[in-house]
Amino acid sequence: MRINQQKLTAGLKPHYDFIVCGSGSSGSVVARRLAENVGVNVLLLEAGGTDDVPTVIDPGQWFQNMGSERDWSFVGEPNPHLNGRSILSNMGKVLGGGSSINTMVWARGHRDDWDFFASESGDMAWNYEAVLNLYHRIEDWQGEPDPKYRGTGGPVLIQPAPDPNPIIPAMVEGARSVGLPRFENQNGRMMEGDGGASIADLNVQDGRRRSIFRAYTFPYMDRPNLTVLTQTLVTRVTIEGKKATGVEILYEGNVHRINAGREVILSLGAMHTPKVLMQSGIGDQDELRYFGIPVIQHLPGVGRNFMNHCGIGCIWEYQHPLPPRNNAAEATFFWKSEPRLVVPDLQTCQVEVPVCSPESAAQFNPPQSSWTLFGSVARPKSRGQIHLTGPTPLDPIRIEDNMLSHPDDLKAALACVELCREIGNSAPLRPFARREVMPGNLKGSDLENFVRDELTSYAHQTC
């Protein structure tokens, strides 16, 4: 594979049938599926470098990628709803994108979400039953056989966390003790009802991360029709009339133009996809003209409707220190902030190390020997926007994340903290907790202020 890719990148062509921009979970799948057709040439472009590094390969080191050269480390604008704080948003800058730096918890969509997508689009190929068939095809499930819900033989190896930390079944039992049903795994039946708790499904194989890039693209890198080019920044789509004809890239310090005979696919994530579109002349005409970018298509929705899952850490000090196992986040629960809701709107992962904002760390000083219930509002109503700051590719974007700008998100976040505290202080977890570190028994405005100071990004951005 290495020799083949060295040959292909050394002889970079001026023209490919398909150019896929971004090697994250979407780009990796699209590039592989296209390259299955030996009659077409596919170019996959990635701004970051190799994923063959210990912090990517070793599941227990995932948090060391945050803030490293493998992370874009986007920073939002100061947010008045977060006491004026700016939120760091992690996003993968490496082969595999987010799937190479994330926590490796395999979380499938809820039935009602898929049926909603089908209803809104008028396309039943998006409904739950149709997508369940796709999940079957994608998965290589290593847990107890479950032919109704789980697939085998697919490219993505999934298994329940093997030999989990003793605190993990205790958290699941703690959730059950306060009324959440326990499930055999977090997908399948759990994604059809009110939610519940389970040991996490992980895309980890033999103690190594199984990213989507490794599952899909890597096995095809010995083929002559798939070129994977790293350290390459896509600067804009080239357009003639109203037709995309290729891309402009920054590679080895020089600007190159590469043509696409059939399609250009942008899979650059919630930040860089709108940025590249706007730099290519597709976006709100007033903003483009302000920066002197010729308008190809007035499309004011580009960069709008930004969403992200918030992260809120509730932390306990271990009674007796336990070293993390697997991905250090081996259990999860989904539940509702209010009983009247149809779909669960809260997600929490148990993390076997302390996770919190810099502000909370300064205030509460959690010991290194601590564990976290890292909660999230999974169906946020707050919306933000991505803006350009200049006309050139190296000009940074301006991110108005607007998290907690909708009052319902604050209500859900408060409910999430209360539920995490109820579970974290339940009898099954007492043997693992010397004390609750944060937030403690805060109420009213004090609890609201804690949430505004503690909220961070779950790195689930979309736009």
Which residues are known to be catalytic?
A: 460
CA distance 15 to 115: 40
Would you state the torsion angle of the CA atoms of residues 403, 201, 73, 387, taken in this order, to the nearest 10 degrees? -50
Q: For residue 387, which amino acid is it?
A: H
Q: For residue 462, which amino acid is it?
A: T
First and final C-alpha spacing in the chain: 35
Q: How many CB atoms lie within 10 A of CB 60?
A: 18
Looking at residue 125, the DSSP 8-state letter turns out to be G
User: Which ranges in 96-206 belong to alpha helices (H)?
Assistant: 111-121, 128-138, 167-177
Question: What phi and psi, each to the nearest 5 degrees, are found at residue 5?
Answer: -70, -35
284 in Cβ contact with 298 (< 8 Å): yes
Instruction: Give the angle 18-203-351 at the CA atoms, nearest 5°.
Output: 125
Residues in contact with 169: Cβ distance below 8 Å, sequence separation at least 6, in sequence order: 199, 331
Q: Is 157 helix (H, G, I), strand (E, B) or coil?
A: strand
The residue whose two tokens read 């986040």 is 329
b/e burial code for range 208-245 (CB count within 10 A of at least 16 → b): ebbbbbbbbbbebbebebbbbbbebbbbbbbbeeeebe
C-alpha dist (Å) from residue 351 to 123, 149, 154, 355, 397: 38, 27, 28, 8, 31
